[in-house]
């Protein structure tokens, strides 16, 4: 099988920010051609989870997403902090966003949001047996409504295109397969 990987000859940062960094790479393709400017978005890794409560309800969160200008129905998730294990970041995000504590987390898959332009990974979990232990502890710019749905209701939401965040739809697919609901 031929080697398809490009060699990075140089990198230059155009913008460094807390949530996204943009760099341009000069690369050489295996056949010797030079790519003078390939733009790469650097994001921190993310985690998300299909969170199933101890009474078998799936927790979804509703929040405004400014880049798309939509109020989005999603599964809980967020940024993994520097030095944090993905599973610990997911437990933290679940507690902060929903007030539910989960100790049973199973890694379902790792996904690339868009490997042609972004370098990060999303760690996708199935969290089971969640119990409400506290109120939400949201970041300064977060406004999140927590909602609970049955598995059948979530499947209906998906069939009606009411959950549109691609990484969350993918995680729901893996979780529903694992739960024997597909």
What span, in angstroms and rounded, lies between the C-alpha atoms of 94 and 34? 45
What CATH superfamily is the domain 46-178?
Nucleoside Triphosphate Pyrophosphohydrolase (3.90.79.10)
> Percentage of residues in the chain with pLDDT exceeding 90?
93
pLDDT at 131: 96
Rounded to 5°, angle at Cα 80 from 59 and 157? 25
| pLDDT at residue 18, as a whole number | 85
In the chain, what are the domain boundaries? 7-42, 46-178
pTM: 0.93
141 Cβ contact partners less than 8 Å away, ≥ 6 residues apart:
none
Q: Which helix (H) or strand (E) holds 106?
A: strand 104-111
Query: For the chain, how long is the longest CA-to-CA vector?
Result: 59
What phi and psi, each to the nearest 5 degrees, are found at residue 124?
Answer: -110, 130
- pLDDT tens-place string over residues 124-140: 999 999 999 999 998 88
Mean pLDDT of the chain: 96
Mode of pairing for the β-strands spanning 145-149 and 77-79:
unpaired
């Amino acid at each position: 099988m031929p080697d398809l990987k490009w060699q990075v000859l140089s990198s230059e940062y155009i913008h460094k920010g807390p949530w996204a960094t943009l760099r341009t790479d000069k690369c050489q393709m295996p056949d010797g051609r030079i790519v003078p400017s390939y733009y790469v978005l650097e994001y921190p890794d993310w985690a998300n989870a299909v969170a199933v409560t101890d009474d078998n309800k799936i927790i979804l969160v509703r929040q405004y997403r400014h880049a798309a200008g939509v109020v989005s129905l999603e599964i809980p998730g967020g940024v993994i902090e520097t030095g944090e294990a993905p599973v610990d970041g997911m437990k933290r995000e679940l507690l902060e966003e929903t007030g539910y504590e989960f100790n049973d987390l199973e890694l379902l898959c790792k996904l690339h949001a868009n490997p042609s332009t972004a370098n990060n990974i999303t760690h996708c979990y199935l969290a089971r047996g969640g119990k409400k232990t506290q109120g939400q502890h949201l970041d300064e710019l977060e406004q999140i409504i927590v909602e609970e749905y049955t598995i059948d209701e979530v499947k209906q939401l998906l069939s009606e295109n009411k959950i549109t965040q691609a990484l969350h739809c993918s995680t729901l697919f893996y979780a529903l397969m694992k739960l024997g609901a597909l």
